[in-house]
Amino acid sequence: MPDWREVFISEGLFGVLDHGVISTETADFSNGLVAPMDRGAFILTGINAGYVRVETRVLTARPDVEENDWEEIVEVSVHAPAGDLKVESLELGPESGSVCSLSPSGPNWYRLRVHARGREIFRDKASIRPVEDYLLVVWQASPTGATILRSSEYIERRLRINLPPSE
């Protein structure tokens, strides 16, 4: 049974932040779902403000892909130099149920797999009632590039926007 927590969203984002540090200037928003920074990452939501449901899992190794009914799945490498990755609302701070760290090996590199569904329901609107779900799966791993495991029309548009111009 999923252990959903509600996280408050502002400006269409929430974070997986390392000791609360936000390095906005280093964020790579190119894949449209998860923006790794030099420490931690932003998760891009469909709603602009309100609440989403989030479940987290910390594993010891890369799991099989849980496709089920997830609309989007993207993996990125996340650095945690303080070793204190937590789910955080950018306005309200750490999510109240997020007392355990998502970085059990302390300061290190981790792989973050973000599963999302419902991001198109109230795109750029507000929703006090959660309509979007996110599953965040984390395990220790050497850094590597982003991997899109399941795409959507929104992610495809973001990728086209970020393509270098043709010669």
Distance CA(149)–CA(34), nearest Å, equals 13
Average pLDDT along the chain: 89
The predicted model gives 49-60 an average pLDDT of: 95
Q: Domain extents for the chain? A: 5-161
pLDDT class of 45 with cuts at 50, 70, 90: very high
Is the pLDDT at 162 greater than 70, yes or no?
Answer: no
Q: Are 76 and 142 in contact (CB under 8 A)?
A: no
pLDDT at position 20? 85
DSSP 104: T
Is the pLDDT at 51 greater than 50, yes or no?
Answer: yes
pLDDT class of 167 with cuts at 50, 70, 90: very low
pLDDT at position 96? 59
pLDDT class of 3 with cuts at 50, 70, 90: confident
Pick 101 or 126 by higher pLDDT.
126
List phi, psi (to 5°) of 52: -130, 160
